Amino acid sequence: MKSINDLTRDEIKEVLTQLGQPAYRATQICEWLHRRRAMSFDDMTNLPLALRSKLAKHFRITRVTKTEETVSDDGGTTKYVLKLADGGRIETVLLPHPRGATLCISTQLGCAYRCRFCATGHMGFKRDLSTGEIVDQVSFFKEYLPLDDDAPKTDTARAFSNLVFMGMGEPLANYKNLIRAITILTKEVGIGSRRMTVSTSGLPDKIMRLAREPYEVRLAISLNSPFDKRRKELMPVAGKTPLSELMSAARYYFAKRNRVLTFEYVLIAGENDRMRDAHALAALLRDVPAKVNLIALNPFPGSRHESPDKDRIRRFQSVLRERGKKVTLRKSLGCDILAACGQLGAKTGAKKRKRG
Ligand code: SF4
């Protein structure tokens, strides 16, 4: 049976037309689905009983449920394990920020791309998340946490105002469901696309397609080396696309959207942290309006890589600054609970404070 959460409002209107119902019912149904998180058609009390039972004959409502909530030692970052209707488990992370927290959501169960520095890649690919499963991660948190606009700004860990598609999986490999989810999130959940960031390992054709969508999402590209050979070693998917092709797609995105791009660079000791890498990175990005986000590797159990020491990271950062690039060093939030970048899906033996 189909899940009604996967449908956009226009598609629900089509269903209603076939059932001989007025189109305005679609607005009511979407409100119940995405803002009020109805668990069954019986909850939709402003719909006629006959319509509720017809819908129940054709559709089901699927929801994520929270099975675990782990708070980092500093009390800021929280990792949630959410159970899908088929029993699969995904991870969603709430990252604190003084101007409102960011919710990092998943788009696939596992990932096929096997980046060497990433725990999700090590767990392999299970399946794409459906549109409804992507959206319901957000609807769940809208219900579970106070809305950002209403929440006191001091309580940054509990409110969220930005979304990043950077949890488990490669969002652009689940393109159709991602775009449908963005459509529902903007229209039904009320989150503007300018507050969303899609983070990708770099799929040029999909980046160009995303540039043509009617959404103002930010784009973050995981680069990790300015050299094709090393990049391919770190990210096997990069073997299919030379950096020249990726950079053309990035420039195209900027030309279409006029939004500064972010290039993520995970610093791994002995792999991509030489000053030569920093100079080559600055040269690669010289004609792209971009900021570089450096991330010291977040190790996970079983990983054979390490983060460079602080001095080396600072020197890498300085080279980029001296060459005129805007560069930030991302704080590794939630490392102790395996909630930081590249750690999702890692099995933890760590005992942390748990809620729920
Ligand atoms: S970094 Fe992203 S694309 Fe690479 S394996 Fe991890 S989830 Fe997949």
273-316 pLDDT per residue, tens: 999 999 999 999 999 999 999 999 887 777 788 999 999 999 99
In terms of DSSP bridges, do strands 160-165 and 196-200 run parallel, antiparallel, or are they unpaired? parallel
Distance separating alpha carbons of residues 171 and 254, to the nearest angstrom: 19
What pLDDT, in 10s, does the model give residues 157-171? 456 789 999 999 999
Q: What is the pTM of this model?
A: 0.91
Distance from C-alpha of 167 to C-alpha of 118, rounded to nearest angstrom = 11
At residue 341 the predicted structure's pLDDT band, cuts being 50, 70 and 90, is low
Domain 2-60, second-level architecture = Orthogonal Bundle (1.10)
Of 6-15, 88-97, 216-225, the least confident: 88-97
Q: Whose CA is nearest to atom 4 of ligand 1?
A: 115
Q: Is the pLDDT of residue 107 over 90?
A: yes
User: Residue 77 has what pLDDT?
Assistant: 85
How far is ligand 1, taken at its centre, from the CA of residue 120, in Å?
6
Sign of CA dihedral 329, 157, 301, 226: negative
**To the nearest whole number, what is the mean pLDDT of the chain?**
89
The pLDDT of residue 154 is 45
Confidence at 340, pLDDT banded by 50, 70, 90: low
From 113, 246, 341, the mutation candidate for ligand 1 (largest count of ligand atoms within 8 A of CB) is 113
Task: Identify the pLDDT of residue 334.
Answer: 62
271 is an active site residue: no
Superfamily of the domain at 65-355: Aldolase class I (3.20.20.70)
Higher confidence at residue 152 or residue 317?
317
- Encoded tokens for 173: 């490999």
Quick: pLDDT tens for 253-262: 999 999 999 9
Q: What is the model's pLDDT at position 333?
A: 58
* Residue 149 predicted with pLDDT over 90: no
Can you tell me the distance from the alpha carbon of 159 to that of 147, in angstroms, rounded to the nearest whole number? Answer: 6
pLDDT digits (tens, 9 = 90+) for 119-128: 888 889 999 9
Least confident range of 131-140, 254-263, 324-333: 324-333
Lowest mean pLDDT among 53-67, 153-167, 255-269: 153-167
Higher-confidence residue: 16 or 77?
16
How many whole angstroms from 172 Cα to the centroid of ligand 1?
11
| Ligand 1 pocket residues where CB is under 6 Å | 111, 113-115, 118, 120-121, 169-170, 201
- State the pLDDT confidence band at 153, using cuts at 50, 70 and 90: very low
CA of 171 to the centre of ligand 1 (A): 9
In angstroms, the CA 302 to CA 17 distance is 54
- Determine the angle formed by the axes of helices 204-211 and 175-184, rounding to 10 degrees: 30
Whole-number Å distance, alpha carbon 7 to ligand 1 midpoint, is 27
170 is catalytic: no
The confidence band for 332, taking pLDDT boundaries of 50, 70 and 90, is: low
Confidence (pLDDT) at 298: 83
Q: Give 213-254 pLDDT, tens digit per residue.
A: 999 999 999 999 999 999 999 999 888 899 999 999 999 999
Mean pLDDT value across residues 35-51: 97
- pLDDT score, position 331: 63
Give the active site residue among 104, 111, 118, 341: 341
Q: What angle in degrees, to the nearest 10, is found between the helix axes of 175-184 and 131-144?
A: 40
Closest to 43 measured CA to CA, from 53, 32, 51: 32
**What amino acid occupies position 161?**
S
- Two structure tokens written together for 339: 């909630």
pLDDT band at 209 (very low <50, low <70, confident <90, very high): very high
In the chain, domain spans: 2-60, 65-355
In this prediction, residue 339 has a pLDDT band, given cuts at 50, 70 and 90, of: low
Mutation probe of ligand 1 site: the residue of 201, 203, 246, 263 with most atoms within 8 A of C-beta = 201
CA distances from residue 226 to 243, 244, 273 in whole angstroms, order as listed: 8, 10, 11
pLDDT reading at 145 higher than 90: no
Interatomic CA distance for residues 171 and 279, integer angstroms: 30
In ligand 1, which atom is closest to the CA atom of 111? 8
% of residues, the chain, pLDDT over 70 = 88
Q: Whose CA is nearest to atom 5 of ligand 1?
A: 121
